[in-house]
Amino acid sequence: MLPLLPSVQNCFHVGYVVPDLGAAMERLSACTGLRWAAPRMLPLTLRTPAGEISVQLSLTYSVQGPPHLELIAEQPGTVWGSEHCGLHHLGYWSSRFTEDVDALTRAGFEFEAGAVDEHGTLTRFAYLREPHTGLRVELRDEARRPATEQWLRGERP
């Protein structure tokens, strides 16, 4: 639970940025026994403090969890760049996505990046960083939960 956000419960996933998604999946399966959802390539428009950029995000989740292990392929020039490889964030579902992003910002967290829709509205997820400890939190819009759970079960959304 995030005490600043009573609507946000239990860590859903831990995110790692990796240089090679396939190699990381193989190595982690071999040493931990984790199994993976089919990797996805997601075209996104990403809002950052410097402006909006288009990216192709490649990722997967462990099917074991929660918390799940999320692997994200390194993406140069973004919040997923090589300088961010390794432990990246703690991810939480948010039933009040926009309000929770605003609440963390008012509490001093720095907005780093988030997906936007065709109208420029923040949607799907946002990364916020606590400036004193460096802790990065990802808030995921609860509305995306059913589709994510279907994917993790190997079903088509």
Cβ atoms within 10 Å of 60's Cβ, excluding its own: 22
- Mean pLDDT for 33-51 is 95
pLDDT the model gives residue 10: 79
pLDDT the model gives residue 8: 65
Confidence of residue 2 (pLDDT cuts 50, 70, 90): low
Q: Percent of the chain at pLDDT above 90?
A: 87
| Side-chain half-sphere exposure of 119, counting CA atoms within 13 A | 3
Q: Domains, the chain, ranges and CATH? A: 13-152 (3.10.180.10)
Distance CA 157, CA 151 (A): 7
Claim: this prediction has a pTM higher than 0.85: yes
- Mean pLDDT for 141-154 is 92
pLDDT the model gives residue 72: 98
Q: Percent of the chain at pLDDT above 70?
A: 94
Confidence of residue 68 (pLDDT cuts 50, 70, 90): very high
- Report the DSSP beta bridge partners of residue 16: 71, 87
pLDDT in tens, 6-32: 666 678 999 999 999 999 999 999 999
